[in-house]
Amino acid sequence: MARIVQKYGGTSVGDVERIKKVAERIKATRDEGNQLVVVVSARSGVTNELLARARAVCEFPSERELDMLLATGEQETIALTAMALHGIGVDAVSYTGGQAGIFTDKVHTKAKIKTIDAKPIVRDLEAGKVVIVAGFQGINEEGQITTLGRGGSDLTAIALAAAVKADKCEIYTDVDGVYTADPRVVKDARKLAEISYDEMLELASSGSKVMQTRSVEFAKKYHVVFEVRSSFNHNPGTIVKEEVAYMEKVVVRGVAVDKDQAKVIVSNIRDKPGSAAKVFRSLADANVNVDMIVQNVGRQGVANLTFTVPQTDTAKAVRALEPVLAAIGGGQVTVHEQVAKLSVVGVGMKTHSGVAATLFQALADAGINIEMISTSEIKISIVLDLDRADEAARVAHSAFDLDKV
Amino acid sequence: MARIVQKYGGTSVGDVERIKKVAERIKATRDEGNQLVVVVSARSGVTNELLARARAVCEFPSERELDMLLATGEQETIALTAMALHGIGVDAVSYTGGQAGIFTDKVHTKAKIKTIDAKPIVRDLEAGKVVIVAGFQGINEEGQITTLGRGGSDLTAIALAAAVKADKCEIYTDVDGVYTADPRVVKDARKLAEISYDEMLELASSGSKVMQTRSVEFAKKYHVVFEVRSSFNHNPGTIVKEEVAYMEKVVVRGVAVDKDQAKVIVSNIRDKPGSAAKVFRSLADANVNVDMIVQNVGRQGVANLTFTVPQTDTAKAVRALEPVLAAIGGGQVTVHEQVAKLSVVGVGMKTHSGVAATLFQALADAGINIEMISTSEIKISIVLDLDRADEAARVAHSAFDLDKV
């Protein structure tokens, strides 16, 4: 007998038929003698419907009331999932985030989990019940409903797995697991059997949409081993954990492409201490998320500063920069939205040199120009022309033999 | 400055446009300097949609999970209403039933309110906020979400009015108030400016759909004066309270017709002690709601027992009676569904004789046959042919001069 936490995302519980299928899957796991905590998201589409209604009554809805509103999405799903289990003879009980003892800070719409009081859940598990918990939501000290922000249901599952000391945590989603590259772009991309937290983190922050980084960070911090797998088939997924077998041998684990980037160039600024600080302070104050940064000093003490931001932040970035341009020497701001970021990720990189050389050579051979470069211990990212991004992914994938087991 | 509780039903908050209209109405009341608690229902149709999904996943959904599911309907409305108020510059905060301190017993889907801890609401009122409370729901001692059953949102409003010691309680609905008869049937029906709790109770239990009896009973018990009025216009409604002006003069206050009745006849039963008890015990055990009862003893100790039940309970009643027929002398059960119940109600009846005579004479003059008669202190009810019910309402209305002020 094992204690298992399963999480089903919005598409997995998208309608009543799918909820019934999820119930069958839960029953099968329960019938093997396991104790089971199940975290569910809102049915796909529901959150957007609720947001549309919110915007229809108020241009800038309050975050407390948004949480109150959005929390209903998961609450509906937990009740329907528990009912579907009852319908096939499985004893089950639903918990809202608050009932599950998920206490958060007071930051509405992106609350952080502070503690989980798992005693009621453990009591129900030991009484033989399947416990269904609303993902994405918690409660603060004052009894206010909070939500955890993007990827919140994954976080709920991983945090509960830590709290109930689960033997396994399974994140069911609409993809089969983590691939060496996006299979829609790179035909011979392979599903990885295992991946380390750090690699998963770098892939997530590099545009792989499987999971948000915060859930992976939480899992790493609390040593929660989890598996990403599909709720639409029974294929094994990808296990995410601290140390991965054969880690030494594999240099690059995967290739990720992020097409949601824009490149911003601040040109002709005075090259003196404080100019860059002024630029990034103004961006930070405007909550613009800056990713890669490159600075070139040209002739006569005039510098160009180049960085990337999410495309949704471009207008905000330009607005934030206008007032500081004069103070830093009266430069110009140029935006290129037709760019993409390609990253190759692998823990093995730490001890292998030549990864950058291999990547740059392969791209050069294909005639693909590199506009920016940034590296971390286990990742190399480049910015390139959006039109060449998919081709670059295929080139990189093959340069590191990722199509071979 | 007054402290006011307003309740808006499902049609009043049926979509985002109507929610914005309700917000305007709330703002107007607030701008007059009043403290305001607003109780809202689920948007009309939402509860039925949720129930349909519940039935799609499970034939007999558990009542605990039904409450978990249905409570989301009001939770959505409170958040949207608070947002709509923010959008027009009104400080407002939403409360679920549990957050509003509405503690109930443990009976899911038809919980009774035990206590209300109104301190948080009063604190917010005194801080100048409009408090929006989810109707129909509460929380039990164990922190489980409960719902109050039919008419639950009215009950929430009236109970909160008692708890916060409100000066006024306004029940906004899709009708203008309480009428002397159904205006769709009786053209010259008049809206009543005032009505007593007892008359309102008798009208409610006699088929007038304005409110459920339990909310009126609660208001009577806690001396909550409330007004029933429309959210779609600004007409004054009907005030419901203990003593009504000119009560002595008015004999009959209104006429109500209930077309949802069936007449059940148990014939040829042995007229000996215990027969009737057996019949009604078996009906009570099957949760059949029996209304009017008449017994005639015929010749040779053989009796007929006639009673009315809601049409939805007819099949259940017949099934419940089958096993007892042998024990009471082997009678037959006959059902007539083509009947209606007409009631005339008025506190003034207590001190005036002749009401029955006037009613029966008027119906006789119109050639309408009376099948059953039952009376209470302030009500006379008769059962008659369904096809003649509307005509009978008009005849009774005019016989008691209800068309005259």
For A5: left if phi > 0, alpha if psi spans -120 to 50, otherwise beta; the answer is beta
Tell me the one-letter amino acid at A258: D
Residues B169 and B22 in one domain: yes
CATH number for the domain harbouring residue A50: 3.40.1160.10
Is B284 a domain residue?
Answer: yes
- Residue B219 contacts by C-beta under 8 Å, 6 or more apart in sequence? B158, B169, B197, B225, B226, B240
Q: Do A143 and B99 touch (CB under 8 A)?
A: yes
| Mean pLDDT value of segment B255-282 | 87
**Amino acid identity, position B330:** G
Q: Count other Cβ atoms within 10 Å, centred on residue A315.
A: 12
Rounded CA gap, A368 and A393, in Å?
11
pLDDT at A289: 86
SS3 category, A302: strand
Closest of B94, B96, B100, B38 to residue B67, by C-alpha? B96
**Which tops the pLDDT comparison, B303 or B65?**
B65
Task: Answer with the residue of higher pLDDT: B330 or B333.
Answer: B333
Residue A262, domain member (yes or no): no
- CB-CB contact of B113 with B153 (8 Å): no
Alpha carbon dihedral A203, A205, A211, A217, in 10-degree steps, equals: 100
Q: Which of B124, B149, B174 is the last residue of a domain?
A: B174
A194-196 and A238-241 beta bridge pairing = parallel
Q: Considering the domain boundaries, does residue B314 fall inside one?
A: yes
Tokens of B67: 């409450």
Q: Count other C-beta atoms under 10 Å from residue A234's C-beta.
A: 9
Domain boundary among B148, B174, B200: B174
Tell me what ipTM this predicted complex has: 0.84
Domain-ending residue, one of B174, B192, B217: B174
Q: Which of A44, A41, A46 is nearest to A7 (CA)?
A: A41
Looking at chain B, the whole-number percentage of residues with pLDDT higher than 90 is: 71
Do the beta carbons of residue A301 and residue A269 sit within 8 Å?
no
Contacting residues of A for B72, CB less than 8 Å apart = 72, 75-76, 79
**B251: which residues sit within 8 A by CB, 6+ positions away?**
B346, B348, B349, B352, B355, B400
Amino acid A245: pLDDT? 66
CA B238 to chain centre: 15
A127–B contact, CB cutoff 8 A: no
Query: Does residue B213 lie in a domain region?
Result: no
Q: How far is A79 from chain B (nearest CA, A)?
A: 5
Domain CATH for B384: 3.30.2130.10
0.80 exceeded by the pTM?
yes
Instruction: Give the model confidence (pLDDT) of B340-349 as tens digits.
Output: 999 999 988 8
Of B328 and A35, the structure prediction assigns the larger pLDDT to A35
In a domain, A405, yes or no: no
Structural domain range at position B405: 244-405
Residue A405: per-residue pLDDT: 63
Q: How many CA atoms lie within 13 A of B17 on its CB side?
A: 1
B144 lies in the same domain as B258: no
Q: Is residue A352 part of a domain?
A: no
Q: In terms of domains, do B43 and B163 share one?
A: yes
End-to-end CA distance of chain B: 33
Least confident of A294-298, B195-199, B371-375: A294-298
Q: How far apart are CA B83 and CA B94, in angstroms?
A: 9
Q: What is the mean pLDDT of each run of 10 residues along chain A (405 residues)?
A: 95 96 97 97 96 96 96 98 98 98 95 96 97 98 94 96 96 91 91 92 81 92 95 93 71 91 88 82 88 77 86 91 84 92 88 84 93 88 94 95 83
- The answer for B 40-79 residues in CB contact with A (under 8 A) is 50, 53-54, 56-59, 61-62, 64-66, 68-69, 71-72, 75-76, 78-79
Contact predicate B82/B132, CB 8 Å: yes
Which among B80, B86, B144 has the least Cβ separation from residue A69? B80
Interchain proximity B80–A53, CB inside 8 Å: yes
Query: What is the total count of domains within chain A?
Result: 1
Q: Return the amino acid letter for A131.
A: V
In a domain, A400, yes or no: no
**Can you state the percent helix, strand and coil of chain A, rounding each to 5?**
40, 25, 35
Please say if the pLDDT value at position B289 is more than 70.
yes
Indicate the burial class of B296 (C-beta count within 10 angstroms; 0-12, 13-18, 19 or more): exposed
Q: How far apart, in whole angstroms, are the C-alpha atoms of residue B22 and residue B17? A: 9
User: Quick check: is B317 in a domain?
Assistant: yes
Which residues is B196 bridged to in the sheet? Answer: B241
- B261 and B380 assigned to the same domain: yes
Token pair recorded at residue A314: 């471009």
